[in-house]
Amino acid sequence: MTTPPPGLRERKKQATREALREAALRLALERGPDQVRVEDIAEAAGVSPRTYNNYFASREQAIVSAVTADREARIAAAVTTRPAGVRLADAITQAVVEQYTNTGEREQQALLLITTRTALRDAFLDTTADIEPPLTAVIAERLGDTGAHTARVLAASVAAAVRIALEGWLRPARNTEAAEGSGTGGLVVPSGSLPDQLRAALAPLVPAFDAAERRTQP
C-alpha cells in the first residue's frame, strides 16, 4: 500500500500541529501543566487560539501529542513492512510493542508529565482509539477484506487491548492520600514491563487473527 506525498497545504498543517505539540510540551515542562493555557500554547506556536482549536480540543491533548504523534500511522506502516511470511498476529504485536517502547528524550519527558496528572493520563489513554482506522486499512489489504468488516473488528480489538495494557501499566498506587488531596491525581509509577503487558493484552486476539488469515488461503 503506497501513500502519495502530502501537498503544500497538508505540509503546512503538519508543521502547525508540530509547532503546537512542541510549544505545549515545552511550556508544560517549564511551568507545570496546570499553569499552561491554550492561549499560551497558541501564542508560543505563532497561531491564534481559534487555529489551535482546529488541531486540539484541550491543552492535555496537545501535551500528550508530543509522545503519541503519528504513532497510529507508524504502527500501520510497521505492519505493512513486515515480510509476507510473518504471521499477521505476530506482525501487529511486534509493531505495537516497538512503537510504544522505542521512545526518545522528548517522549520520555512527556511520559513523565503524563504520570503526574489524571487528565493527562486520560488523554494519553484516549489516543489508543486512533490506532483503529489506519490499522483497519492494513489488515483489510492483508486479508483481502473488501468490506473491511473483519478488519475493522480486529483493528478495534487491538486498540482496546492496547488501552487495557496501558491502563494496567499506569494504574495508580493505593493509599496515596497526599496525592488525592492535591487534586492532581498524584504521581503514578508505571508498574511492570510495558512490552510484557502489551503482549499479554494482545495474546487473546491471536486465534482470531489466525482464523481470519486461514480464510484467505486457497
What is the per-residue pLDDT across 70-92, written as a single tens digit (0 to 9) for each? Answer: 899 999 999 999 998 899 999 99
Coil vs helix vs strand at 72: helix
For the chain, how far is it from start to end, CA to CA, in angstroms? 22
Quick one: residue 195, left, alpha or beta (phi over 0 = left, psi -120 to 50 = alpha)? alpha
Cα 117 to Cα 159: distance, rounded to the nearest angstrom: 23
pLDDT tens for the 218 residues of the chain, in order: 455 566 888 889 989 999 999 999 999 999 999 999 999 999 999 999 999 999 999 999 999 998 888 899 999 999 999 998 899 999 999 999 999 988 777 778 788 888 888 999 999 999 999 999 999 999 999 988 756 789 999 999 999 999 999 999 987 655 444 444 444 555 666 777 899 999 999 999 999 999 999 887 76
- At 188 the pLDDT is 67
Tell me what pLDDT residue 181 has: 43
**All cell numbers assigned to 218:** 486457497
pLDDT at res. 44: 96
Q: Give the residue from 13, 11, 23, 8 showing the smallest Cα distance to 51.
A: 13
pLDDT confidence of residue 28: 93
pLDDT of residue 4: 58
State residue 75's pLDDT score.
Answer: 96
What pLDDT, on the 0 to 100 scale, is given for residue 84? 81
132/52 Cα distance (integer angstroms): 25
